[in-house]
Amino acid sequence: MMFHVTLEPAEDGWIVAECPALPGCISQGRDEKEALENIREAITGWMWAEDQKAVSSIPSHRTPSERFTCWN
Protein backbone atom coordinates (compact mmCIF):
# COMPACT_ATOMS: atom_id res chain seq x y z
CA MET A 1 0.00 0.00 0.00
CA MET A 2 1.31 3.46 -0.82
CA PHE A 3 0.70 6.66 1.11
CA HIS A 4 1.79 10.18 0.28
CA VAL A 5 3.55 12.07 3.04
CA THR A 6 4.65 15.64 3.49
CA LEU A 7 7.96 16.69 4.98
CA GLU A 8 8.41 20.15 6.46
CA PRO A 9 11.20 21.63 8.55
CA ALA A 10 10.21 22.64 12.06
CA GLU A 11 11.54 25.72 13.87
CA ASP A 12 13.71 23.52 16.07
CA GLY A 13 15.49 22.00 13.06
CA TRP A 14 13.66 18.68 13.05
CA ILE A 15 11.75 17.42 10.01
CA VAL A 16 8.00 16.91 10.53
CA ALA A 17 6.40 14.12 8.48
CA GLU A 18 2.64 13.86 8.03
CA CYS A 19 0.38 11.46 6.16
CA PRO A 20 -2.62 13.59 5.10
CA ALA A 21 -4.73 10.53 4.21
CA LEU A 22 -4.61 9.31 7.83
CA PRO A 23 -5.91 11.99 10.23
CA GLY A 24 -3.50 12.62 13.08
CA CYS A 25 -0.73 10.47 11.59
CA ILE A 26 2.31 12.66 12.22
CA SER A 27 5.92 11.96 13.16
CA GLN A 28 9.30 13.64 13.02
CA GLY A 29 13.00 12.97 12.66
CA ARG A 30 16.35 14.69 12.92
CA ASP A 31 16.68 14.45 9.13
CA GLU A 32 14.56 13.34 6.14
CA LYS A 33 15.70 9.72 6.37
CA GLU A 34 14.75 9.42 10.04
CA ALA A 35 11.47 11.29 9.50
CA LEU A 36 10.52 8.86 6.71
CA GLU A 37 11.44 5.84 8.84
CA ASN A 38 9.36 7.23 11.70
CA ILE A 39 6.32 8.06 9.57
CA ARG A 40 6.35 4.53 8.15
CA GLU A 41 6.18 3.23 11.72
CA ALA A 42 3.43 5.76 12.54
CA ILE A 43 1.40 4.66 9.51
CA THR A 44 1.68 1.03 10.59
CA GLY A 45 0.56 1.95 14.10
CA TRP A 46 -2.31 4.04 12.77
CA MET A 47 -3.53 1.21 10.57
CA TRP A 48 -3.25 -1.30 13.45
CA ALA A 49 -5.26 0.97 15.76
CA GLU A 50 -8.00 1.40 13.15
CA ASP A 51 -8.10 -2.37 12.64
CA GLN A 52 -8.47 -2.92 16.38
CA LYS A 53 -11.40 -0.49 16.45
CA ALA A 54 -13.04 -2.41 13.60
CA VAL A 55 -12.46 -5.78 15.27
CA SER A 56 -13.95 -4.56 18.54
CA SER A 57 -17.10 -3.47 16.69
CA ILE A 58 -17.80 -7.00 15.37
CA PRO A 59 -20.82 -8.36 17.26
CA SER A 60 -19.81 -11.02 19.78
CA HIS A 61 -22.67 -13.32 18.69
CA ARG A 62 -20.92 -14.01 15.37
CA THR A 63 -19.29 -17.40 15.11
CA PRO A 64 -15.53 -17.73 14.55
CA SER A 65 -16.18 -19.00 11.02
CA GLU A 66 -17.69 -15.61 10.21
CA ARG A 67 -14.46 -13.86 11.23
CA PHE A 68 -11.27 -14.16 9.25
CA THR A 69 -7.95 -12.46 8.82
CA CYS A 70 -6.33 -11.93 5.48
CA TRP A 71 -2.78 -10.97 4.64
CA ASN A 72 -1.31 -10.01 1.31
pLDDT in tens, 17-62: 999 999 999 999 999 999 999 999 999 999 999 998 888 887 777 6
Q: Judge whether 38 and 49 are in contact, CB under 8 Å.
A: no
Domain ranges in the chain are 6-56
Distances (CA, A) of 42 to 10, 34, 48, 56, 61: 18, 12, 10, 21, 33
Distance CA 50, CA 11 (A): 31
67 against 42, higher pLDDT: 42
Count the Cβ atoms, other than its own, within 10 Å of residue 25: 19
